[in-house]
A and B are shown apart, each in its own frame.
Chain A
Amino acid sequence: QVHLQQTGAGLLKPSETLSLTCAVNGGSFRGFYSYWIRQPPGKGLEWLAEINHIGSTTYNSSFGSRVSVSLDTSKNQLSLRLSPVTAADTAIYYCAMSQSRGSYSPLRHWGQGTLVTVSS
């Protein structure tokens, strides 16, 4: 059974860099679509970025060049970097993986979420 496990710092100061990692157990990111999605406290879901089945990335234009994602297939790890952060970036961050290989499919697998708080 596929399980996504997130790690990373939960408390940051403004202007610092958010770095999160998502490891997959019981499966592989290879060939699937992988995503980072966030949810501000009490609000809805917001897509940040994706890596598709051949490793190409697409980013939410709202974040400009602040966001980047990468996939280390040898370690089965997905990473997110967001810099610099502000208080508006306070949210629960989720990694997610598609249901099927090779094309767009629904988000079947989700990490447990990481609450990132940005405060001076």
Chain B
Amino acid sequence: EIVLTQSPGTLSLSPGERATLSCRASQSVSANYLAWYQQKPGQAPRLLIYGTSSRATDIPDRFSGRGAGTDFTLTINRLEPEDFVLYYCQLYGSSPLTFGGGTKVEIK
């Protein structure tokens, strides 16, 4: 079973800065099936990025994803106040669905 490890656990930044979140797979995976989700307090996760780099509907272009093999990155440019929440990476190309442990982006 593939394990996804997200780092850092917490990222402390200021509004307007750039956030770089990492997701590392325990073995090489297809970039076609790597997604990122955002979760605000008290809400269900929301799909941000799928297929490593495709933005979901209505997601602002300050969110971008890249990666291949075992290393994937979510970048958030020009952090807005509403971006300071939790982010999860996920593999969805087979069962079991696998989620990373999450990265919390907090205001410095």
Q: Does B72 contact A (CB under 8 A)?
A: no
Are A47 and B56 neighbours in the complex by a CB distance under 8 Å?
no
State whether B44 touches A111 (Cβ < 8 A).
yes
Nearest CB of B to A55, in Å = 15
Contact surface of A with B, Cβ cutoff 8 Å: 35, 37, 44-47, 50, 58, 60, 94, 96, 98-99, 104-108, 110-113
19 A-B pairs with C-beta separation under 8 A: A44-B88, A44-B102, A45-B90, A47-B98, A50-B95, A50-B97, A96-B44, A98-B92, A99-B50, A99-B56, A104-B93, A104-B94, A105-B92, A106-B47, A106-B50, A107-B35, A107-B37, A107-B47, A113-B43
Instruction: Apart from A44-B101, A46-B99, A104-B33, list 8 A-B contacts with CB within 8 A.
Output: A44-B88, A45-B88, A47-B97, A47-B98, A47-B99, A94-B44, A98-B92, A108-B47
